[in-house]
Amino acid sequence: MPTFDAARVYLHIGGVHNHHNARLNTMERGADGHWRDTVDVPEDLRASYRIVPVNAATASTTEDTNSPSFDLRTRWMQLYQNVVEGDNSLEYRYPPREPTESGRIVMPAAPAAPGWETGDALTQWSTEELDGRQVYLAGPADATELLVLFDAHHWIRTPLDAALHRLHAAGKLPRFRIAAIDTAANRVAELSRSPLMRSFIADTLLPHFPQYSPAHRVLSGQSLGGLTSLDIAIAQPGLCRGIVSNSGSYWFPHGSAQAGGSIAEDLHNGAAAALAAADTRVFMTVGKNEGMGMEIHTPAVARELEAAGVDSRLEITSTAHEMAAWEGGLTRGLCWLYS
Q: Which CATH number fits domain 126-337: 3.50.50.60, 3.40.50.1820, 3.40.50.2020, 3.90.660.10?
A: 3.40.50.1820
pLDDT digits (tens, 9 = 90+) for 208-228: 999 999 999 999 999 999 999
Please name the residues in contact with 80: beta carbons below 8 A apart, sequence gap of 6 or more. 100
**pLDDT (0 to 100) of residue 225:** 98
Residue 181 · residue 148 · CB < 8 Å? yes
pLDDT, tens digit, 9 for 90 and up, residues 46-79: 999 999 999 999 999 888 888 887 888 889 889 9
Distance CA 255, CA 94 (A): 39
Model confidence at 1: pLDDT above 70: no
Please write the tens of the pLDDT for every residue from 276-318: 999 999 999 999 988 888 999 999 999 999 999 999 999 999 9
- Give the rounded distance of the alpha carbon of 76 from its chain centre: 18
Torsional class of 103: left (φ above 0), alpha (ψ -120 to 50), beta (otherwise)? left
What's the pLDDT band for 3 if we cut at 50, 70, 90?
A: low
Measured in degrees and rounded to the nearest 5, phi and psi for residue 48 equal -85, 160
Q: Where are the domains of the chain?
A: 8-106, 126-337
Residues paired with residue 180 on neighbouring β-strands, in sequence order: 136, 149
Long-range contacts, stretch 304-310, CB < 8 angstroms, 24+ apart: 304/260, 304/264, 304/267, 304/268, 304/272, 305/267, 305/272, 305/275, 307/272, 308/267, 308/272, 308/273, 308/275, 308/276, 309/273, 309/276, 310/272, 310/275, 310/276, 310/280, 310/281, 310/282
- Mean pLDDT across the chain, nearest whole number? 95
The pTM (predicted TM-score) of the whole model is 0.95
